[in-house]
């Protein structure tokens, strides 16, 4: 069970509920245009979004642990991480692997949609990938960026990105 907690903890599963809500909002706007929703594209949009969310969470857990921030932060339900890595430091390597693999999954799905839907989705995708990688190491060091980055990631990027990959426009 400890191994499962070490694997799932950095993913912050309770917070992943936001991602399906954003994808569903994008699906709703796409559906309202009257286009047929390709089930494969719906699944890929969902997997890409969940992978991006898991990746940013795992990167956050890893970098906060490595910087020592986890040891200086009073944990609450919404800050201080999952506590997985301070409790089990040997899980840090696995957390980084999870972050990198889910980032790769997101990027590969993005490449698929660039091929299928064209390069217009590229700016949203690249900005989303930048947010995932730089959220902890750069965005969180600026109070203003730290406030708007999640809003941009879960708002316009996920909702508009889902709409675009499902409609092509």
Mean pLDDT across the chain, nearest whole number?
Answer: 90
Which residue did the predictor score with more confidence, 67 or 77?
Answer: 67
Residue 1 clears pLDDT 50, i.e. is over it: no
The confidence band for 70, taking pLDDT boundaries of 50, 70 and 90, is low
Can you give the pTM of this predicted structure? 0.90
Rounded CA-CA distance 22/157 in Å is 9
Rounded CA-CA distance 49/25 in Å is 13
Burial 118-156 (b: 16+ CB within 10 A, else e): eeebeebbeebbebbbbbbeebbeeeeeeeebeeebbee
The confidence band for 73, taking pLDDT boundaries of 50, 70 and 90, is low
């Amino acid at each position: 069970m400890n191994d499962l907690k070490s694997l799932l903890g950095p993913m912050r599963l309770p917070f992943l509920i936001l991602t399906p809500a954003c994808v569903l909002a994008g699906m709703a706007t796409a559906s309202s245009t009257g286009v047929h929703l390709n089930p494969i594209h719906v699944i890929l949009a969902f997997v890409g979004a969940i992978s991006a969310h898991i990746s940013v969470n795992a990167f956050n857990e890893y970098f906060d642990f490595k910087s020592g921030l986890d040891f200086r932060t009073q944990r609450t339900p919404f800050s201080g991480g999952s506590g997985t890595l301070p409790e089990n430091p040997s899980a840090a390597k696995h957390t980084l692997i999870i972050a990198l693999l889910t980032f790769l999954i997101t990027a590969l799905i993005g490449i698929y949609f660039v091929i299928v839907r064209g390069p217009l989705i590229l700016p949203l995708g690249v900005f989303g990938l930048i947010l995932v990688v730089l959220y902890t190491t750069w965005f969180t060091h600026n109070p203003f960026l730290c406030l708007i980055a999640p809003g941009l990631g879960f708002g316009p990027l996920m909702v508009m990105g889902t709409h675009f990959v499902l409609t092509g426009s």
